């Protein structure tokens, strides 16, 4: 486990450092340089935050009052975005709260924790060893997992309500990410395939309807279908990103050799930093970046399968999917595989909220890893895959 | 954890792995398979060839007066991207700013939009030139008015899309590009020499199309500055990407030998002749014989070099160098020079003029309306006897006459720096008929340009040395330093100085008592010769269509100026001595004052003076009669 944790940290550090280089490279105007400085500050904060979280016992989070407080604060912040004077509108989306960054970013670890806690309780109550055995256990298990409301609707709401709020902020990318994380965790928690399929179909069809009736989103979708044809209008960003990545070739233009970064790709320092990576480091560099995220995924999979309890299992699964999915979606947007979403690239894009939220996810993942080792497991959680000694039944 | 959970984890893992695989494949597709295509398209955005337009040089006269100069103007364009959906609104706003008609403007924009939609598939509507040559002070108010314009949007609360739209509209509804315009401060003066410019070719904004503008184009145009480099998205150059740089070299200034003041004197005199005689054209060239410099060259009717299209192309023609005429009697001077040079005749040698009609080799030759008996050679010139000169030519001989003609520079372009110069035309001696020599001697059966004639006279004025005609005196760099100077060049000595002096003496008689009395200028000795030629269409002579000319020099002893005047097809078929000689006198009268040529002849009495002005030595009798 120590090795895995080391690999995980190395991957994250490598991504952060490469991100810094790229950020420096995209800052071609003197006015852009403060960004670099700010990013350094956030990385320093991450340097303190991650070890603290790793050493912290994640089980502490799995307490009813803590969960309630986290959930309420997150909900309030997400709502605060809509209050005029508190919320700040940036690029047509209400994403910011004055003085507190982007609540949607911080909602990521919170929602993952809440979901993990709920699903842990649900599955624990189903398969508590000794409580029910044989036929009766099977029946009870069947009944409980079939209970649509408990096993599916409520967790869907836990993930779905924040997602809807973020959706209302006009941040469709993060909302979609939330939906996908929720579905992934439900998948792992054993929701029935039919429920999953139904939800997925429902979500996709409602998205299609919403896109069809929202001119801005429809335009983005049409742009996605033909970036070159829309290169003079809405497709400019995507098309320039494709040109930048494509002109990188196999070897790239070397660090700081990018010419297309000079204002051609808007938001190059945040959502489209991959365009700069693609142009400057070429196929090799981009592949290394993808491999680093793949490394995080593999480490996460190892950690979650060695988690000491179900909460840890779901927490690790949620954090891993959040990081890798976000990375995948960002790269897919930059290479025009999916419509433009507006998600930052974890650890590399400029942006404090996003960076801190990702560090929290990594911290939680590390905490699950750190506390999986039998020697470090606190007394009350005796064994892996065993229900907690203290049964906090929320429902 | 049941095995079901393991399967579910595997499903999630597979989905995520598949995601990474797809991304990697996409990267290979973009960075390996489509690398070339995308890189080319990326470079198309970045690479720039910035051209800094060279400033077209000025044309100045010998005293530095500007004859043609370049002024900065702006061309105003509409970026049709922003016009596409707002044609009427924008036309309503823009039309009064530019002083255009609103409906016409909308129609033009619509037409351009429609034609572009049909032609370009990527839907770029392009730009439309709305107004040319807006002066630099006119443009900023237009630009500022647009920057304040609200375009009917409620400015106090705008959505972000509206704000973007407003910004785009304010920025791109109109934009201006620098252009150059050629300006001719002296109007129609010297038009045929200066020529005009047209719209640019090979990268220059202005391209000489006619006259000196065309022949000196390569010097006037200069060299455009080129800077091949890359630019950022805002259009700023990335200086470290500069690959090729050629500094701009502004065009040279051409300093002509023309004297604008004299030019205006000449044009004024010609204009008076035009009004008085109503010819199809009138032209004049003034040459300084000692250097071959052309001091004035005028053709009327003239055109406006500013707007050549407003005048018929016939007026563009420079008659002095491009037209060839059978000049007639003015050519007798050359025949005389050839004869004297050869020693074939003496000035006082008597010639029998056959009482006005002579049949030589079955072809009749007449002295128009006169029956001269015996005249001396100098009288033959003064009275312009065709028969006398035919006989002189016979003494000279065919080959010798032909040699003299070519020696004087005829039948060959003079090499003056103007396009479309005619070399004239003379048949080779082998093609001459037996009577040709008698016709060539009096300026028929071959044609020359007025400039050739003027240069030949200038050779006689310059003691027999034929000069290269000079029109451009100097080329100066844009910063004023001298690039090159054209030195006067003696082509050859065509006659001995003594012969030239004798010819000039004979020519004085023409003005003193011969056909050119109208050219006489009190106080000055004038040598000259009149000419009245019938024009032919190549086969036969056209009755009533005359080419009247006078070529003279002042003062006769040591000529400072040679002035050749031609009036083509005067309406009432007058003689050259009547039509062209007074023009000569008017020009010479002011020119001697301008150049400070001292009088070399005493003025006898006021009465004589008035008589001399009228060119009739015995006119005082008429005046007395009138007084009575």
Q: CA angle, A350 as apex, A51 and A167 as ends, to 5°?
A: 95
pLDDT the model gives residue A24 = 87
B18 touching chain A per CB within 8 A: no
Report the candidate in B612, B577, B524 with the shortest Cα–Cα distance to residue B623.
Answer: B612
- Whose tokens are 């807006």? That residue is B134
- Domain extent at residue B344: 275-281+318-467+486-597
In a domain, B193, yes or no: yes
Q: Is residue B623 part of a domain?
A: no
Q: What was the pLDDT predicted at B120?
A: 54
B432 within some domain: yes
Q: Quick one: DSSP state of residue B470?
A: B
Q: Which of residues 214-243 of B touch A (CB under 8 A)?
A: 230-234, 238, 241
Taking CB atoms and an 8 Å cutoff, what residues of chain A touch B127? Answer: none
B34 and chain A in contact, CB less than 8 A: yes
pLDDT band at B286 (very low <50, low <70, confident <90, very high): very high
Residues of A in contact with B45 (CB under 8 A): 240, 243, 260, 264
Determine if the peptide bond prior to B301 is cis (ω within 30°): yes
Q: What is the DSSP letter of A253?
A: S
Please answer yes or no on whether A250 and B27 come within 8 Å at the CB atom. Answer: no
Residues of A in contact with B235 (CB under 8 A): none
Residues B227 and B374 in one domain: no
For B:141-170, CB contacts with A below 8 A are: 160
Q: Are residues B422 and B541 in the same domain?
A: yes
Q: Which of B11, B19, B239 to mutate to test the interface with A (most CBs of A within 10 A)?
A: B19
Find chain A residues with C-beta within 8 A of B238's C-beta: 259, 262
- Measured between CA atoms, the residue of chain A closest to residue B12 is A184
Tokens of B331: 């050519």
> Could A262 and B35 be called an inter-chain contact, meaning their C-beta atoms sit closer than 8 Å?
no
For residue B245, which phi and psi values (nearest 5 degrees)? -145, 125
Q: Does residue B304 surpass a pLDDT of 90?
A: yes
pLDDT band at residue B524 using 50, 70 and 90 as cut-offs: very high
Please write the tens of the pLDDT for every residue from B85-131.
888 888 888 888 888 888 998 998 888 888 876 665 555 677 888 88
Q: Does residue B108 form part of some domain? A: yes
Asked whether residue B480 is domain-assigned, the answer is no
Is B344 found in the same domain as B249? Answer: no
**Do the Cβ atoms of B553 and B561 come closer than 8 Å?**
yes
Same domain flag for B251 and B335? no
| Sign of torsion over alpha carbons B584, B586, B587, B588 | positive
pLDDT at B628 > cutoff 60: no
Q: Across all residues in chain B, what is the average pLDDT?
A: 88
- How confident is the model at residue B88, as a pLDDT? 86
Q: Do A301 and B4 touch (CB under 8 A)?
A: no
Number of separate domains in chain B: 2
Give me the percent of chain B exceeding a pLDDT of 90: 55
Determine the Cα–Cα distance for residues B438 and B387; give it in Å rounded to an integer.
Answer: 8
Q: What pLDDT does A128 receive?
A: 44
B378 and B522 within one domain: yes
Per-residue pLDDT band for B20 (boundaries 50, 70, 90) equals very high
Q: Which residue has the higher pLDDT, B340 or B120?
A: B340
Nearest C-alpha of chain B: how many angstroms from A19? 19
Could you tell me if A304 and A322 are in contact, meaning their C-beta atoms sit under 8 angstroms apart? no
- pLDDT surpasses 80 at B11: yes
Query: Exposed, middle or buried, B23 (CB in 10 Å: 0-12/13-18/19+)?
Result: buried
Average pLDDT over residues B28-49: 90
Phi and psi, residue B89, nearest 5°:
-60, -50
Please tell me whether residues B245 and B332 are part of one structural domain: no
DSSP for A183-224, please give it: HHHHHHHT--HHHHHHHHHHHHHHHHHHHHH-HHHHHHHHHH
Q: Please say whether the beta carbons of B337 and B395 come within 8 A.
A: no
> Are B586 and B509 found together in one domain?
yes
Report the share of chain B in percent with pLDDT over 70.
93
Considering the domain architecture, whether residues B67 and B198 belong to the same structural domain is answered as: yes
In this structure, what CATH number is given to the domain that contains residue B132?
3.90.1310.10
Q: Does B10 touch chain A (CB under 8 A)?
A: no
My answer on whether B394 and B251 are in the same domain is: no
Res B549: pLDDT: 93
Chain A interface test: which of B10, B11, B16 (most A C-beta within 10 Å): B16
Are B349 and B436 within one domain?
yes
* B132 contacts chain A (CB < 8 A): no
Sequential DSSP letters for B398-417 = HHHHHHHHHHTTTTS----S
- In this structure, is residue B504 part of a structural domain? yes
Based on the fold, state whether residues B122 and B245 are members of the same structural domain.
Answer: yes
Low-confidence ranges of chain A (pLDDT < 70): 89-95, 98-100, 124-147, 373-395
Distance, CA of B444 to CA of B447 (rounded, Å): 7
Residue B616 lies in a domain: no
Q: What does the pLDDT look like over A119-170, one tens digit per residue?
A: 888 776 654 444 444 455 556 556 655 567 777 788 888 888 888 888 888 7
Interface test with A, best of B27, B45, B235, B242 (most A CBs within 10 A): B27
**CATH number for position B575:** 3.40.710.10
Q: What 8-state DSSP symbol labels residue B431?
A: G
Does residue B294 fall inside a structural domain? no
């Amino acid at each position: 486990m120590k090795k895995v944790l080391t690999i995980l940290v190395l991957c994250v550090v490598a991504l952060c450092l490469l991100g810094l280089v790229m950020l420096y490279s995209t800052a071609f105007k003197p006015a852009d340089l403060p960004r670099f400085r700010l990013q350094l500050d956030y990385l320093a904060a991450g340097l303190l935050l991650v070890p603290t979280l790793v050493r912290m016992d994640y089980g502490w989070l799995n307490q009813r009052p803590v969960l309630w407080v986290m959930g309420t604060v997150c909900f309030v912040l997400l709502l605060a975005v809509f209050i005029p004077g508190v919320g700040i509108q940036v690029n047509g989306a209400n994403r910011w709260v004055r003085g507190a960054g982007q609540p949607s970013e911080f909602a990521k670890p919170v929602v993952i924790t809440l979901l993990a806690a709920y699903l842990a309780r649900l599955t624990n109550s189903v398969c508590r060893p000794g409580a029910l055995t044989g036929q009766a256990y099977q029946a009870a298990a069947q009944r409980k997992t079939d209970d649509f409301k408990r096993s599916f609707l409520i967790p869907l709401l836990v993930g779905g309500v924040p997602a809807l709020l973020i959706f209302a902020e006009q941040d469709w990318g993060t909302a979609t990410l939330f939906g996908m994380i929720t579905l992934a965790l439900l998948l792992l928690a054993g929701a029935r395939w039919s429920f999953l399929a139904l939800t997925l179909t429902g979500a996709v069809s409602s998205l299609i309807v919403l896109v069809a009736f929202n001119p801005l989103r429809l335009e983005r979708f049409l742009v996605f279908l033909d970036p070159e044809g829309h290169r003079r209008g809405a497709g400019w960003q995507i098309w320039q990103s494709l040109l930048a990545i494509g002109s990188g070739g196999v070897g790239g233009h070397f660090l700081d050799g990018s010419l297309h970064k000079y204002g051609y790709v808007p938001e190059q320092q945040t959502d489209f930093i991959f365009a700069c990576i693609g142009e400057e480091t070429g196929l090799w560099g981009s592949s290394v970046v993808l491999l680093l995220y793949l490394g995080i995924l593999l480490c996460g999979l190892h950690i979650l399968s060695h988690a000491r309890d179900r909460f840890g299992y779901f927490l690790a699964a949620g954090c891993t999917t959040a990081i890798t999915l976000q990375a995948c979606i960002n790269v897919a947007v930059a290479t025009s595989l999916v419509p433009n979403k507006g998600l930052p690239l974890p650890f590399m894009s400029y942006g404090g909220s996003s960076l801190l939220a990702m560090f929290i996810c990594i911290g939680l993942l590390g905490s699950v890893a750190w506390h999986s080792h039998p020697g470090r497991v606190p007394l009350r959680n005796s064994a892996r895959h065993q229900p907690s000694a203290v049964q906090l039944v929320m429902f | 954890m049941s095995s079901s959970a393991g399967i579910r984890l595997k499903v999630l893992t597979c989905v995520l792995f598949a995601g990474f695989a797809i991304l990697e494949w996409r990267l290979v597709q973009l960075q390996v398979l489509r690398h070339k295509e995308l890189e080319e398209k990326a470079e198309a955005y970045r690479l720039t060839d910035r051209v800094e337009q060279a400033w077209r040089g000025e044309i100045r006269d010998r005293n530095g007066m500007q004859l043609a100069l370049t002024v900065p103007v702006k061309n105003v364009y509409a970026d049709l991207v922003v016009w596409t959906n707002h044609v009427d609104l924008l036309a309503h706003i823009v039309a009064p700013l530019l002083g255009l008609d609103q409906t016409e403007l909308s129609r033009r924009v619509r037409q351009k939009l429609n034609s572009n939609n049909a032609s370009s598939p990527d839907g770029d509507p392009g730009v439309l030139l709305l107004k040319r040559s807006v002066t630099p002070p006119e443009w900023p108010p237009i630009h500022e008015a647009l920057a304040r314009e609200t375009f009917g949007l409620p400015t106090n609360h705008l959505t972000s899309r509206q704000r973007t739209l407003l910004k785009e509209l304010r920025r791109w509804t109109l934009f201006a590009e620098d252009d150059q315009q050629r300006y001719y401060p002296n109007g129609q003066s010297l038009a045929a020499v200066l020529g005009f410019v047209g719209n640019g070719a090979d990268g220059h904004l202005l391209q000489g199309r006619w006259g000196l503008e065309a022949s000196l184009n390569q010097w006037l145009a200069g060299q455009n500055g080129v800077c091949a480099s890359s630019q950022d998205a805002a259009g700023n150059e990335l200086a470290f990407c500069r690959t090729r740089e050629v500094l701009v070299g502004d065009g040279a200034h051409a300093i002509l030998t023309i004297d604008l003041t004299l030019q205006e004197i000449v044009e004024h005199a010609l204009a008076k002749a035009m009004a008085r005689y109503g010819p199809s054209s009138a032209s004049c060239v003034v040459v300084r014989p000692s250097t071959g410099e052309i001091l004035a060259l005028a053709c009327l009717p003239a055109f406006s070099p500013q707007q050549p299209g407003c005048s018929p192309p016939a007026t563009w023609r420079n008659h002095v160098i491009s037209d060839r005429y059978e000049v007639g009697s003015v050519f007798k001077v050359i025949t005389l020079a050839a004869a004297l040079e050869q020693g074939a005749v003496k000035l006082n040698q008597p010639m029998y003029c056959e009482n006005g009609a002579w049949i030589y080799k079955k072809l009749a030759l007449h002295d128009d309306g006169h029956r001269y008996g015996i005249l001396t050679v100098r009288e033959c010139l003064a009275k312009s006897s065709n028969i006398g000169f035919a006989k002189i030519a016979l003494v000279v001989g065919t080959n010798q006459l032909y040699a003299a003609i070519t020696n004087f520079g005829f039948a060959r372009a003079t090499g003056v720096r103007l396009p479309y110069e005619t070399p004239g035309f003379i048949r080779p001696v082998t093609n001459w008929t037996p009577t040709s020599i008698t016709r060539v001697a009096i300026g028929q059966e071959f044609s020359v340009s007025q400039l050739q004639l003027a240069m030949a006279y200038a050779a006689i004025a310059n003691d027999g040395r034929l000069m290269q005609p000079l029109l451009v005196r100097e080329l100066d760099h844009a910063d004023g330093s001298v690039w090159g100077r054209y030195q006067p060049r003696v082509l050859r000595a065509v006659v001995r100085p003594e012969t030239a002096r004798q010819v000039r003496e004979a020519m004085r008689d023409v003005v003193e008592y011969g056909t050119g009395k109208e050219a006489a200028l009190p106080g000055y000795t004038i040598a000259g010769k009149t000419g009245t030629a019938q024009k032919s269409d190549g086969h036969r002579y056209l009755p009533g269509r005359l080419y009247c000319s006078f070529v003279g020099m002042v003062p006769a002893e040591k000529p400072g100026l040679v002035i050749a005047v031609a009036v083509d097809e005067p309406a009432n078929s007058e003689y050259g001595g009547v039509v062209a000689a007074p023009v000569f006198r008017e020009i010479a009268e002011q020119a001697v004052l301008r150049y400070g040529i001292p009088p070399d002849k005493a003025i006898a009495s006021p009465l004589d003076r008035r008589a001399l002005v009228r060119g009739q030595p015995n006119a005082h009798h008429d005046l007395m009669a009138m007084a009575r």
